[in-house]
Amino acid sequence: GENVEQHPSTLSVQEGDSAVIKCTYSDSASNYFPWYKQELGKGPQLIIDIRSNVGEKKDQRIAVTLNMTAKHFSLHITETQPEDSAVYFCAAWTSYDKVIFGPGTSLSVIP
Amino acid sequence: DAGVIQSPRHEVTEMGQEVTLRCKPISGHNSLFWYRQTMMRGLELLIYFNNNVPIDDSGMPEDRFSAKMPNASFSTLKIQPSEPRDSAVYFCASSEGTTNTEAFFGQGTRLTVV
């Protein structure tokens, strides 16, 4: 079945440093890849997404890259701040019209 | 719009009891998803509806779980009978379309079965 893998499971960085989270997906027909941030006690919230016709997308301090040949996509957060601490999920829409989430990355930004 | 609304926010019940979780999707959205989140298994898709019709329920763990969407503004997830291993946070999400559109999540229902 469809699968999304995500690494690392935990990530700790110093404030101001960059954080990178990497994901792979299995359904070659997937063409939409959202990233969600989940803060404690809340539901996941979309922070950025990328579609198959785009290789890279940036929004202020966050950027995503997509390599459909390798079935890889990544989230990059630059100049990290303590409020970036949360669990981040990558996801992929499958050819069966449903969103499959990766297992999540717990990011801690140390002041 | 107030976003996706779930109720209750917290539910504590005894093993064997029936539990009903409720969701009101964002008005105008025609896809609705139920997810379960645990530390061990992460976010699992249980079932999703399109235009009130169940499309894929392959993620529903057992016959004890059932979901309905009687109209475009309401859905329920029922567990009968509940077991301690059902303890988790259950999220409902909705989106405008079936493909490649943002899914908006509710705040979740934290279920504890003792």
Tens of pLDDT, residues B56-86: 898 898 899 999 999 999 999 999 999 999 9
Residues 6+ apart with CB under 8 A from B94: B4, B25, B26, B29, B31, B32, B33, B103, B104
Q: Which among A40, A97, A105 is the top mutation candidate for probing chain B, defined by the most B β-carbons within 10 Å of its own β-carbon?
A: A97
Minimum Cα–Cα distance from A93: chain B residue: B100
Query: What digits encode the pLDDT tens for the residues A11-20?
Result: 999 999 999 9
Q: Do the Cβ atoms of B100 and A45 come within 8 Å?
A: no
CA distance A111 to B68: 46
CA distance A14 to A11: 10
* B3-22 residues touching A, CB cutoff 8 A: 4
Q: Which among B6, B43, B45 is the top mutation candidate for probing chain A, defined by the most A β-carbons within 10 Å of its own β-carbon?
A: B43
pLDDT over 70 (residue B100): no
| Mean pLDDT estimate for chain A | 92
Our CA angle for B35, B39, B42, nearest 5°, is: 40
- pLDDT category at A31 given cuts 50, 70, 90 is confident
Decide the pairing of beta strands A19-25 and A72-77: antiparallel
Q: Which chain B positions have a beta carbon within 8 Å of A43's beta carbon?
A: 4, 91, 93, 105-108
pLDDT of B98 reads: 60
pLDDT over 80 (residue B99): no
Q: Which chain A positions have a beta carbon within 8 Å of B101's beta carbon?
A: 32
Query: What digits encode the pLDDT tens for the residues B11-38?
Result: 999 999 999 999 999 999 989 999 999 9
pLDDT over 70 (residue B1): no
- pLDDT category at B97 given cuts 50, 70, 90 is confident
| Chain A interface, Cβ < 8 Å to B | 31-32, 34, 36, 41-46, 49, 51, 89, 93, 96-104
pLDDT of A66 reads: 95
Residue in A43, A49, A101 nearest the CB of B42? A101
Q: Which chain B positions have a beta carbon within 8 Å of A89's beta carbon?
A: 42-43
